[in-house]
Amino acid sequence: MKFSVFTVGTPDFTIPETIAKLKEWGYDGVEWRVAEGPPHNPVPLPPRESWYWTYNQSTINIENVKEEIKRAKTLCDQAELEICCLTTYLQPNEFEQIEQVLNAASSVQCPRIRVMPPNFTGKENYNKLFFQTQQHIVTLEELAQKYGVKIVFEIHMGNIIPSASAAYRLVSPFDSNAVGIIFDPGNMVHEGYEEYELGVQLLGPYLDHVHIKDARPVYSQTNGKGKWDIQWCPIGEGMVRFKKLIETLKASNYTGYLSFEDFSNEHDSAYKLEHNIHYLKSLL
C-alpha cells in the first residue's frame, strides 16, 4: 500500500509547499483538490477550521485545470511523487467539466478523478435520484473509457451512497476498469457503517482508493439540553479501527493508496503530515 494526502487537508500550504512537505515525510503521492481557486486576501479571513473548503491554498483551479495540473506535475516529478487522483466536487450530470478534468488527468498520467454522487436530502425520492445517477454514469463510463482514466465515487454521509452496500449497488452494472469507489471509514462513522470485511469483499474490483480520517461522537449541552454529534478528530483517536482496516485491506490484496483527508483541528498541518504517516506505517 502507498501513502498520499488529499490536499483539502493542507489548506495553509501552497502547491509547492505541499509537495515539499510530502517529499520530506516520505509520501508516495498526492491527491489534488480540484475546485474554484481560493479568494485572494479576503477580509475578514474565514475561520481557520473552515479553510479546508473556503481558503484552501493547495487547490488546482478547475477553471484552468489542464494548465495548472501540468505545472504541478513538473514539481511532483522533481519530488518523485505520483499524482494519484484529481478530486473534484462535480456532480455526475456535469459532463462537460468532467470531460475537461478527465482530459487533464490523462495529460499527466493520473489514473483517476473523483465525481461526487448527489446528496440525499429527502426532498426527492431516493429511488428516482439513484436511477437518474445511474443513467448519468452510462455517459461517464464512456468518457472514462475514452480517456483511460477511472471515475471514482466516494462513500460519504449525506449522499446517495453512505455505505459500501449502497456504493456497490450504484456501480455494479458498470465496468470496474472505468468506474470505482473511494472507501471512507471516517465518513462511515457519521453514516453508513458496515463491517470493513463486508464492504471490502462486496466492492471487490470496484474498491479503487481509500480515504483516511477519523471521527468520534461528542456530547454537548446548551441551555441544559444535551445532544450527541459526530466530530472530526486526530487520526487514531476516534471510532475508525485502523488496525482492522489495514488487516482487511491486506487480506483483499489491496495495493493502492491510503490517502489522508484529516479535518481535525487540534494540530497544525505540518504536525498532521508527520504524525499520520508514522501512525499508519506503525500499523503496517
Domain boundaries along the sequence of the chain: 2-283
DSSP per-residue codes, 33-82: EEESPPPSS-SSPPPGGGHHHHS-TTEEEGGGHHHHHHHHHHHHHHTT-E
Q: What is the mean pLDDT of residues 237-262?
A: 98
* 179-183 vs 225-233, strand pairing mode: unpaired
Q: What number of other Cβ atoms are within 10 A of residue 53's Cβ?
A: 15
What are 230's three cell numbers?
459526530
Q: Can you tell me the distance from the alpha carbon of 87 to that of 215, in angstroms, rounded to the nearest whole number?
A: 21
pTM for this entry? 0.96
What is the architecture of the domain spanning 2-283?
Alpha-Beta Barrel (3.20)
- For residue 16, which of 58, 55, 67 has the smallest C-alpha distance? 58
Residue 41: predicted pLDDT: 74
pLDDT tens-digit profile of 56-87?
Answer: 999 999 999 999 999 999 999 999 999 999 99
- For residue 264, which of 231, 229, 240, 228 has the smallest C-alpha distance? 231
- For residue 213, which of 1, 5, 2 has the smallest C-alpha distance? 5
282: Cβ contacts below 8 Å, ≥ 6 apart: none
pLDDT at 43 over 70: no
Residue 206: predicted pLDDT: 98
Banded model confidence at residue 48, pLDDT cuts 50, 70, 90: confident
Which amino acid appears at position 144 of this protein? A
Strand, helix or coil at 209?
A: strand
pLDDT tens-digit profile of 154-210?
Answer: 999 999 999 999 999 999 999 999 999 999 999 999 999 999 999 999 999 999 999
Residue 158: predicted pLDDT: 97
Q: How far is CA 203 from the centre of its chain?
A: 17
Q: What is the mean pLDDT of residues 127-152?
A: 98
